[in-house]
Amino acid sequence: MDRERSHPRRAAVLAVDGGGSKADAVLLDRHGSLLGKAHRLGRSDVDMRRLAIDPLVEVVDAACLDAGLSPNGSAVATVGMYCLAGADFPLDERRIGRMLDRLGRTERTLVRNDTFAVLRAGSERGWGVAVVCGAGLNCLGIGPDGRTVRFPALGELSGDLAAGGEWVGIRALAAAVRARDGRGERTALEGLVPHHFGMGRPETVMNAIYRGRVGSERLMELAPVVVRAALSGDAVARNILNEQAGEVALMATATIRRLRLSSTDVDVILGGGMFQADDPEFLRRVENEILRVAPSARIAILRVPPIVGAALLGLDELGAPASASSRVREEIDHATIDHTIGRRSATDRSSRGL
């Protein structure tokens, strides 16, 4: 992108993708050209208990500055499309939308769950199924007739038994502790888990988290550790990933059945860090279970950042020309979203992609 470009007075779209480990923001003109971008590592989903949107404000303002726009003046874009983990209910979307409206960054603000961005980024058909398995787990289905299936994604409270990378991390620590004290099967995680945190024993990690010396959110860092152990042949680690794969497949197949899409060539888009781990067995288990229910399903791993989907949804709202979609896909990829706010900590590096 030409960094000597003249600065626009206003963008057409401000798009934001925020999740459990990062947030991306881009500003686009009506033709899909990238005007500004920002990337924030660290937890960036909305805390609905405190109604905190500080991480989103941070990444949006950085994208505005990158585009040469003042975030503190008049609206910087016509439409703001926010696709956020934690926006699980229509009530959540309305409450978050009101908070964002008060910032005055855009003329119109739209809030969607982050699964909408994954589906839009992975398919041009306008319908299908998207599963996000990163720090958390969620699923969205849209039928050809526009009927929608969504999940609350509130962990065990909503019946989610294996809820993404954080759950994998919790199971890894539990397996390590149980192996150490004799209640569980021996596993390489007994040494790998404490080593990851620079400690000597699983119990030391457990106590550090219990006493608040290590944040519990850091357990998501253990997901790649579990994958490496499983690829090395560790049975306990593989069982953890098998449970996660089973829950992913259950969400997808339940959605397919509810939308009566089993006999169609439905697109199933798999997004999030757990699908980027290069674990063939994990992916094979997910795909086999989906194909058992929908033999003609077209299953694909999302290879572009979900912010692409948020950007396209924003352009859809404006009725942008079809060529804008191609321009977005040309200009935004993982290498493009490289403007990181603040210091990249060890936690950030380990959890990137989840």
Place of tokens 């769950």: 113
**Rounded CA gap, 260 and 141, in Å?**
11
Q: List the structure tokens of 297.
A: 């399903």
Neighbours of 291 (CB within 10 A): 15
The pLDDT of 262-290, averaged and rounded, is: 94
Please tell me the predicted confidence (pLDDT) of residue 40: 86
3-state secondary structure of 57: helix
pLDDT band at 3 (very low <50, low <70, confident <90, very high): very low
For the chain, what percent of residues have pLDDT higher than 90?
69
Q: Kindly tell me if the per-residue pLDDT of 311 is higher than 90.
A: yes
Q: What is the pLDDT of residue 158?
A: 78
Q: Is the pLDDT higher at 315 or at 344? A: 315
Distance CA 13, CA 317 (A): 9
Residue 343 reports pLDDT greater than 70:
no
Q: Of the given ranges (16-20, 81-85, 236-240, 323-327), which has the lowest mean pLDDT?
A: 16-20
Residue 4 pLDDT more than 80? no
Predicted local distance difference test score (pLDDT) of residue 317: 96
Q: Strands, DSSP E only, in 47-175?
A: 77-84, 106-113, 128-133, 137-142, 148-150
pLDDT computed for residue 7 by the predictor: 62
pTM of the model: 0.88
The pLDDT of residue 47: 60
pLDDT score for 352: 40
What single-letter amino acid sits at 74?
S
- Classify the phi-psi angles of 40: left when phi > 0, otherwise alpha if psi is within -120 to 50, otherwise beta: beta
- The predicted pLDDT at position 52 comes to 66
pLDDT of 19 above 70: yes
Buried b (16+ CB within 10 A) or exposed e, 119-138: bbbbbeeebbbbbbbbbbbb
Average pLDDT value over all residues in the chain: 89
Rounded mean pLDDT of 308-312? 97
Q: Is the pLDDT of residue 325 over 50?
A: yes
Least confident piece of the model among 75-89, 116-130, 281-295: 75-89
Across the range 63-83, mean pLDDT stands at: 91
Low-confidence winner among 75-84, 113-122, 150-159, 259-268 (lowest mean pLDDT): 150-159
Grade residue 2 by pLDDT with cuts at 50, 70 and 90: very low
Assign domain 11-121+304-351 one CATH number from 3.40.50.2020, 3.30.420.40, 3.40.605.10, 3.40.50.170.
3.30.420.40
Q: In which band, very low, low, confident or very high, does the pLDDT at 284 lie, cut at 50, 70 and 90?
A: very high
Which residues lie below 8 Å from residue 137, measured CB to CB, with a gap of 6+?
A: 131, 153, 160, 162, 163, 164, 167, 247, 248, 251
Instruction: Name the pLDDT band for 111 (thresholds 50, 70, 90).
Output: very high
Query: In this structure, are strands 34-41 and 22-28 parallel, antiparallel, or unpaired?
Result: antiparallel
